Homo-oligomer: A and B are copies of this chain.
Amino acid sequence: MSEQNLLDVMIARTKLSKKQTDKQQKIVEAAIRIFAEKGYSNTSTSEIAQAAGVAEGTIFRHFGTKDNLLLSVILPFLKEWVPVMAEDVFQEIMSEEASFEDFVRALIKNRIAFIKENKEVFQVVVKEFLYNEELRKELFPHLSESIGSRLTNVLQRFQARGELADIPIDRLKRMLISFVGAQFVSRFVLLPEIQDLDEDAEVEAIVKFIMNGIGK
């Protein structure tokens, strides 16, 4: 992977994001589609060029390396993922006197909507996050900082209010993230062919599981 700091690339890419060529966009779209289907490592630049209706050289004119093309797919998604986590859900909900259950439900619905809008990129992110150790090691600290710390605050507040069981915050956080994450991964990556049979009911079941478990 790229040796330079990912945050720098992230910022640089944002500045350039306004002036994007037609073909540049076609390349990214094709890359997303094929990366999602077969994985980054199993995709050749010539295949992307063909799918995008572009000469192979054009890819390298704009993105320099194949690695950079992957970043151009993943980073915009993550850049949107993180702040939306902050504003749309956290602030809005926390200002009111909402219950933890409401918070969890709103968070899950919000994230499902976002993933649905970016289904293929989500698939790429999940697959490469698991497969590409360098990428993971580079991105993990940023994600766990920006998302994790926010979640810690929220959980602490709800635990102080007495709405949560007396489990250490870190363990709570880990279980929450991995459970919800697993739902998203199994729904949108492992079994993407399944349609929304009953999305609301599914969300409700997830919320109930989190709140009350499955015992009786």
Interfacial residues, chain A to chain B (CB-CB below 8 A): 37-39, 41-42, 100-101, 126-127, 130-133, 136, 162-165, 167, 171-172, 174-176, 178-179, 181-183, 185-186, 189-190, 202, 205-206, 208-216
* B130 close to A165 (CB less than 8 A): no
In the bound assembly, the distance between CA atoms of A206 and B172 in angstroms comes to: 10
- CB contacts (< 8 Å) of A176 on chain B: these are 214
- CB contacts (< 8 Å) of A205 on chain B: these are 167, 171, 175
* B206 close to A175 (CB less than 8 A): yes
- CB contacts (< 8 Å) of A213 on chain B: these are 165, 208-213
* B172 close to A214 (CB less than 8 A): yes
Q: Which listed residue, B174, B182, B215, touches A212 by the CB 8 Å rule?
A: B215
Give the Cβ gap from A170 to chain B, nearest Cβ, in Å.
10
Report how many copies the assembly holds. Answer: 2
- CB contacts (< 8 Å) of A127 on chain B: these are 130-131
Known A131-B131, A213-B211: A178·B182 in contact at CB below 8 Å: yes
- CB contacts (< 8 Å) of A41 on chain B: these are 39, 41-42, 131
9 contacts between A and B (CB under 8 A): A41-B41, A41-B42, A41-B131, A127-B131, A130-B130, A130-B190, A172-B214, A182-B182, A211-B214
- CB contacts (< 8 Å) of A133 on chain B: these are 37-38
- CB contacts (< 8 Å) of A136 on chain B: these are 190
Give the Cβ gap from A101 to chain B, nearest Cβ, in Å.
7
* B39 close to A171 (CB less than 8 A): no
* A215 close to B100 (CB less than 8 A): yes
In the bound assembly, the distance between CA atoms of A206 and B131 in angstroms comes to: 26
A sample of 19 more A-B contacts (CB under 8 A), given A100-B215, A179-B182, is A39-B131, A41-B131, A101-B215, A126-B130, A127-B130, A130-B190, A131-B131, A136-B190, A163-B215, A164-B216, A165-B216, A167-B205, A167-B208, A178-B183, A178-B186, A179-B209, A210-B215, A211-B213, A212-B215
